[in-house]
Amino acid sequence: MLKQKELQVFLSGKYDKGNAILSVYAGAGGQDSQDWTTMLLRMYERYCRQKGFQVKTLEQSFGEAGGPEGRIGVKSATLEIKGKFAFGFLKKEVGVHRLVRISPFSPQKLRHTSFAMVEILPEISKAEQSEIEIKPDELKIQTFRASGPGGQYVNKRESAVRITHLPTNIVVSCQNERLQGLNRQKAMKILTTKLYQLKQEKEQKELKKIKGKELLSISWGNQIRSYVLHPYRLVKDIRTKIETSDVENVLNGNLDKFIEAEIKL
């Protein structure tokens, strides 16, 4: 109880008490990176459920079939996470996650390094949403049939929605609802949140320029954590220096040690 109270002192940011939208994107590396993205997605889903958060998949884009044991990776996925302090606990997981292992897709059993990007967005208020003006002619809206692993269609109707914001080239999708109108609403909500975050980042950059400092951009080179399965076993957070050799425990969603250290940074 005391530990929980202590953590809540650190979770005093504007959005920390609210819900979160978590997205995972595979980096370069084909099936290995897509498989790594699947593993990360499973890790976060398990962590969230252990915390008592509600998890709902909004969009999932699958990779090619043909891996060992019929494994099919994920190119990208977006989760809606609802629960008290969901954003506060997850917000510092944003960044690049690196995996080193013997590739299950390599006939020669070669070691392979894979990357995946994690993005965390807060749920913003209606007042904040109203600050963002989105003109209809700035949007490219496409509908398609939601597909499952291996490319099979899971819905016969074109109920899934993909929206591209042309000025920024931000693309969002939603496919979990059966009705196209609901998917469009959720996709627009995610787009508005991303545009609001982009606006905030631009304002912060301007402020940093005035103060003579530069913001560190989130890019593929800025990994926050490494997960090594070969030639030794170790998960190490680059920022907090927290590490453990119990890789399976971490990949099963037991992230408290890392997240609690992040919160206190």
Within 8 A by CB and 6+ apart from 65, the residues are 72, 149, 150, 151
pLDDT at 218: 39
pLDDT at 157: 65
Asked whether 18 and 53 are in contact (CB, 8 A), the reply is no
pLDDT at 207: 56
pLDDT at 217: 43
Overall residue count recorded for the chain in this entry: 265
The model's confidence at residue 248, banded by pLDDT at 50, 70 and 90, is: very high
d(CA 170, CA 193): 11
Give the single-character DSSP code of 245.
S
CA atoms within 13 A on the CB side of 34: 17
Q: Which pTM value belongs to this model?
A: 0.85
Per the prediction, the chain carries an average pLDDT of: 86
Domain boundaries defined on the chain: 13-142+216-263
The model's confidence at residue 220, banded by pLDDT at 50, 70 and 90, is: low
pLDDT at 219: 47
| Nearest partner of 186 among 199, 196, 172, 200, judged by Cα | 172
Asked whether 162 and 173 are in contact (CB, 8 A), the reply is yes
The CATH class, in words, for 13-142+216-263 is alpha beta
Q: Token pair of 185, please?
A: 């609403």
**Pairwise pLDDT comparison (3 vs 196), residue with the higher score:** 196
Q: Degrees (nearest 5) of the Cα angle 166, 169, 170?
A: 110
Task: Flag whether pLDDT at 210 surpasses 80.
Answer: no
Least confident of 21-25, 209-213, 228-232, 233-237: 209-213
pLDDT at 99: 94
**Pairwise pLDDT comparison (166 vs 3), residue with the higher score:** 166
Asked whether 218 and 151 are in contact (CB, 8 A), the reply is no
Reported as a single tens digit per residue, the pLDDT across 37-61 is 999 999 999 999 999 999 999 999 8
Q: In what order do the strands lie in the sheet with 54-62?
A: 54-62, 74-82, 20-26, 111-122, 95-102, 223-228, 234-237, 243-244
